Amino acid sequence: MIKYYNVNGKIVPTEEAVINVKDLGFLRGYSVFDFFRIYKGKPVFIEDHMDRLEYSSGKLGLPLPYSRTEIIEKVIALAKANELEFGGIKIILTGGYSLNGFLPTTPNFVMVASTLPAYPESYYTKGVKLMAYEYTRETPYTKTTNYLKPISLQQEIEEAEAFDVLYHDGEFISESARSNFFIVDEAGTIITPDRDALKGITRKHVLAIAQKHFNVEIRPVSIKEARAAKEAFMTSSTKKIMPIRQVDFWRINKGIIGETTKQMMKLFQQHIDDYVAKAI
């Protein structure tokens, strides 16, 4: 059970963790965030997440109120306060209490601890279905809190009996709403889109692992190519590597999870275990 959050540097009970309604994150959605996975009580790939948080905050002109070292210390302290062995901590940096409801001021810094979503085992053994949707995020390389499109599409996603959406521009695929997208072609090459997609931390580590065992390409992935793919999977901090069995009406490999995907799932889990074992 999560008992504590952190608001502007102070650990407080969850019921006391509040931000004034004048905050620009609330008024205009002007805020960025990053999500730090906690595994065996330790934050995973934290330096990579800090790199991305610093990039996102810089792009929106929201200065971080603490140093990298201080933020990492606060992440660890909040995990310990909640006795969080497996879960996540989301850091949100907002536009602050705006004087005119439009321009940013001193940012508010919030840390929210949470347990991880419990996905059914079948998602990993049988794969999930995605719903293709033509859309490109306004700031695809910046991790903002703007999830207007996928949230507004929830009814359509449910009606399609899909797990999530898969964005494309009419010709090329970019990403899912909360995950990066990969395919495996007939030659066994692992391919992921190179544009209009968030540079996911899990994606980064999956690519590093894959390059040691397979041919890897980072380039445009067309809808036509994805339809002909031998395998497909998605990656994120909460999902790790999750197989994709179907997109809209087309089934991938007749809905059977491929051996490359299975091997990558095992390799990535071992990579996390090794990282945590070496972490202080």
173-228 pLDDT tens trace:
999 999 999 999 999 999 999 999 999 999 999 999 999 999 999 999 999 999 99
Question: Are residues 163 and 88 part of one domain?
Answer: no
Q: In angstroms, rounded to a whole number, what is the distance separating the alpha carbons of residues 135 and 156? A: 15
Q: What angle do CA 189, 219, 243 make, to 5 degrees?
A: 50
Q: In angstroms, rounded to a whole number, what is the distance separating the alpha carbons of residues 54 and 14? A: 26
Question: Are residues 246 and 139 part of one domain?
Answer: yes
> Is the pLDDT higher at 33 or at 1?
33
Question: Are residues 270 and 148 part of one domain?
Answer: yes
CATH number for the domain that contains residue 31? 3.30.470.10
Q: In angstroms, rounded to a whole number, what is the distance separating the alpha carbons of residues 258 and 55? A: 35
Question: Are residues 91 and 216 part of one domain?
Answer: no
User: How does residue 279 score in pLDDT terms, banded at 50, 70 and 90?
Assistant: confident
Question: Are residues 45 and 146 part of one domain?
Answer: no
Overall number of domains in the chain = 2
Question: Are residues 258 and 133 part of one domain?
Answer: yes
Provide the percentage of residues in the chain whose pLDDT is more than 70: 100
Question: Are residues 254 and 181 part of one domain?
Answer: yes
108-153 pLDDT tens trace:
999 999 999 899 999 999 999 999 999 999 999 999 999 999 999 9
Which residue, of 92, 114, 136, is where some domain finishes? 114
User: How does residue 165 score in pLDDT terms, banded at 50, 70 and 90?
Assistant: very high
- Give the range of the structural domain holding residue 25, as residue numbers without chain letter: 4-114
Q: In angstroms, rounded to a whole number, what is the distance separating the alpha carbons of residues 1 and 51? A: 29
Tell me what the mean pLDDT of segment 31-54 comes to: 96
| Residue spans of alpha helices (H) in the chain | 24-28, 46-59, 68-81, 122-125, 148-152, 154-159, 201-213, 223-227, 259-278
Question: Are residues 93 and 38 part of one domain?
Answer: yes
Question: Are residues 76 and 18 part of one domain?
Answer: yes
Q: In angstroms, rounded to a whole number, what is the distance separating the alpha carbons of residues 54 and 72? A: 13
Question: Would the pLDDT of 56 be above 70?
Answer: yes
70-97 pLDDT tens trace:
999 999 999 999 999 999 999 999 999 9
Which residue, of 93, 114, 135, is where some domain finishes? 114
Question: Are residues 232 and 268 part of one domain?
Answer: yes
Say which residue the tokens 């395998």 belong to.
231
Question: Are residues 263 and 128 part of one domain?
Answer: yes
Number of H helices, E strands in the chain: 9, 16
Question: Are residues 133 and 101 part of one domain?
Answer: no
CATH number for the domain that contains residue 179? 3.20.10.10
Which residue, of 114, 145, 173, is where some domain finishes? 114
Statement: the pTM of the whole predicted model exceeds 0.85: yes
Q: In angstroms, rounded to a whole number, what is the distance separating the alpha carbons of residues 170 and 139? A: 18
Provide the percentage of residues in the chain whose pLDDT is more than 90: 98
Helix, coil or strand: residue 87: strand
The predicted pLDDT at position 158 comes to 98
The predicted pLDDT at position 280 comes to 66
The predicted pLDDT at position 117 comes to 87
